Amino acid sequence: MTLVFPAPSLAKSTASGLEGVIAAETVLSEVDGAKGQLVLRGKAIEDLAGKLTFEEAIAFFWDGLIGTETSLEDRLRQGRLKAFALMPVLEAAPRDLPVYQRMRLGLSALADMQSEEDAAAICAALPVFLAASARIQAGLKPVAPDVSLTISQDILQMLTGRKPVERAANALDRYLVTILDHGLNASTFTARVIASTKADMASAIIGAMSALKGPLHGGAPGPVLDMLDAVGTSENADNWVAGELKNGIRLMGFGHRIYRTRDPRADVLKAGLAELQREDGRIALAEAVETAALAALRRHKPDRLLETNVEFYTAVLLEAAGIDRSLFTPLFAVGRSVGWCAHVVEQQQTGKLIRPASRYTGPMPQI
Ligand code: ACO
């Protein structure tokens, strides 16, 4: 028996982590790391976040891709109510099940969804699952959705059982719009791979959520708040930051794999702080830590531009809006689900299975 090795198709070079590999064509979003620009459907993120509600941004982002013949707003409202009907499933799981896992459980309980119309049902269900899961974990009864409210207002009401504060709901809208989509990141790629097998949309979103959970991806800007807690006072920022860098510890909320300049999402989120008018000095502390960190990073790595990333001001904004840090990653999934669903539909339209090759480096049978 004659073996031809390596086979021609395997002779191609591999790209570690698929870095630089173009694996899909998309009309959805473009991340320009050199310019520090994020474009969604032809518009800069600065022209969307802080200007549109979450619902308006969904309509804009899905326009022409995900059918909106029946009113999208109606479908988003219906989706919230249908999700709440699944509460017995969520409440049956152990009380200490983390919020993120219970949200995935809720998605699993949705019927098989093959149509693009189902995207609205999924994106509307996740906020309901998030709020209910947080309350169940805290030993409280879930609060029913109020579809006269916007999704952001309703998230706050379903979490607390109290009328939402307008400023906090606006901050949440700003956050959810800011993180709606971001090129072919790991979770979006996961969603597209699953969609390419013709699995149902909810399965693709469950897979994407699982990829987002990891600390190298959506693993929460919670550590940024831990850092602010540790610094304590603005006067301590320079010393604390210098000490961390001296000990080889990375500063959370700085640097980015793609952006070689400032992450535009950091500025968009920072701009939302003005409206929140937090008066306990926490925002001033965050700004002092940012200033100290940027100065120290310039000294520490003069050849590499390490700038503020999205996680830093996600943490500061969501905390100022009264959101517990344990809910940051679940909220990330709520916003990003809009992008995932659109990518699923785009992938389905190609009809092509994503199936790359691997290079076998193990032993061969002796002949
Ligand atoms: N603090 C201190 N040093 C840093 C930081 C930082 N935040 N970020 C990068 N560096 C240093 C590294 O130590 C490394 O130095 P070395 O060459 O002497 O080893 C150099 O800069 C390059 O670092 P890489 O990890 O190769 O850069 P990469 O672009 O791959 O990393 C990453 C990006 C992982 C985000 C990194 O900047 C980091 O760890 N930041 C802190 C964690 C964080 O904020 N994560 C959220 C990112 S936003 C998002 O993913 C949604």
State the DSSP string of 127-181.
HHHHHHHHHHHTT-PPPPP-TTS-HHHHHHHHHHSSPPPHHHHHHHHHHHHHTS-
Q: Is the pLDDT of residue 106 over 70?
A: yes
137-158 average pLDDT score: 98
pLDDT for residue 4 is more than 60: no
50 has a pLDDT exceeding 60:
yes
What average pLDDT does range 177-205 have in this prediction? Answer: 96
Mean pLDDT of the chain: 92
pLDDT digits (tens, 9 = 90+) for 57-78: 999 999 999 876 668 999 999 9
- pTM for this entry: 0.92
pLDDT on residue 278: 75
pLDDT of residue 221: 59
Q: Is the pLDDT of residue 297 over 70?
A: yes
> Which residues surround ligand 1 with Cβ inside 6 Å?
250-257, 301, 304, 306, 309-311
* pLDDT of 1 over the 50 cut: no
> For ligand 1, what atom is nearest to the CA of residue 257?
29
Query: What is the per-residue burial (b if ≥16 Cβ within 10 Å, else e) of 108-146?
Result: ebbeebeebbbbbbbbbbbbbbbbbbbbbbeeeebbebe
Q: Which of 55, 116, 311, 319 is catalytic?
A: 311
Average pLDDT over residues 286-300: 96
Of the two residues 257 and 364, the one the predictor is more confident about is 364
288 C-alpha to ligand 1 centroid (Å): 20
Q: Of the residues 180, 228, 254, which should be mutated to test ligand 1's pocket, given the most ligand atoms within 8 Å of the CB?
A: 254
pLDDT for 219 equals: 66
Please, which pLDDT band fits residue 186 given cuts at 50, 70 and 90? very high
| Residue 237 reports pLDDT greater than 90 | yes
Q: Tokens standing for 264?
A: 């535009």
